[in-house]
Amino acid sequence: MSENRLLDRSSDAPVKRHMGLKASRTLANTSIYVLLVVISVVWLIPFICIVLQSFRVESTWQESYVIPKQWGLDNYRALFKTDFPRWYTNTFIAALFTAILQTIIVLCMSYTLSRFRFKMRKGLMRFMLILSMFPGMLTMIILYRVLSDLGLTQANALPGLILVYVASSGMGYYVSKGFFDTIPKSLDEAARVDGATRFQVLKKIILPLSKPIVIYTVLTAFMGPWGDFVFARYVSFGTSSGMNVAVGLYNWLNKDQIAKSYTMFCAGGVLVAIPVTVLFMCLQKYYVEGVTGGAVKG
């Protein structure tokens, strides 16, 4: 009898438990699906709205409904009668140069701090940490005055802007240093033993291995200028031809402008977002690698 019961339990119970587990897992998964769908909707709504409103023809005012009553490309056409193409070119050129120069500088810095052991290394890193605790906003005042003395503001803002974006970029070495730290040092040492100079080690061994971090750095450097608002506004100082898209579009939402340019802002936003987003989505893999690596390293 007792044996029988034992047998019963051993044959029956696991099945029951399995069923219960399965049911609770389906329940859990269903609720997670619901949650994910809700999240996706919340996350996408603003972007759907902005696209829809950019096609609205009947009114340029910020209406409280989303779906246009009359569809058309009027807003996009209107964009090209403003300075928008100029802002777009400005931003694109700034992004391109920043991407190239900033990548070179960041890689030089991070590679050096990761691979070389020299006397000032620790002190240098601590010094940069302390520097980064000062609000960067503070330096804008003087940089603006210096740039304006050099004639690099307002209509000529572009070179000045690139200069400032690039110049201090060496401070953002953390992520790529974390990457270089993961490449085994024995590779370098083996090459050094074979008589390679430090430069040759960098060129022939490290760089070919560094594709992910190079792409990550280029990508983030390229995206930076598209979103820069503060310094670009300072430097262009009300001169339309020197603005970038962020400053130009921001001004369209001013109290006295918004009535006639709200939908144009939406259209401009869509045009700015498309190339950046496409590029980002294509290179997403590298971005994710960089972000996760960087956060773990701190």
Report the C-alpha gap between 280 and 186 in whole angstroms: 34
Report the C-alpha gap between 49 and 29 in whole angstroms: 30
Among 13, 19, 27, 39, binds other proteins (CB under 8 A): 39
Closest approach, Cβ 264 to other proteins, in A, equals 13
The answer to whether 145 contacts other proteins (rule: CB under 8 A) is yes
Contact 116, 201 (CB under 8 A): no
Closest CA to 141 of 153, 131, 129, 133: 153
Stretch that binds other proteins, among 11-19, 75-83, 176-184, 197-205 (CB under 8 A): 197-205
Contact 51, 270 (CB under 8 A): yes
Rounded to 5°, angle at Cα 233 from 227 and 235: 115
Among 79, 99, 143, 206, binds other proteins (CB under 8 A): 143
Closest approach, Cβ 131 to other proteins, in A, equals 6
Stretch that binds other proteins, among 9-17, 38-46, 72-80, 153-161 (CB under 8 A): 38-46
Binding mask 45-84 for other proteins (x = CB under 8 A): -xx-xx-----------xxxxx------------------
Q: Residues 199 to 238: which contact other proteins by CB under 8 A?
A: 199, 202, 223, 226-227, 229-230
Contact 259, 59 (CB under 8 A): no
Contact 252, 265 (CB under 8 A): yes
**Which residues sit opposite 56 in a β-bridge?**
71
The answer to whether 180 contacts other proteins (rule: CB under 8 A) is no
Binding mask 240-259 for other proteins (x = CB under 8 A): ------x--xx--x------
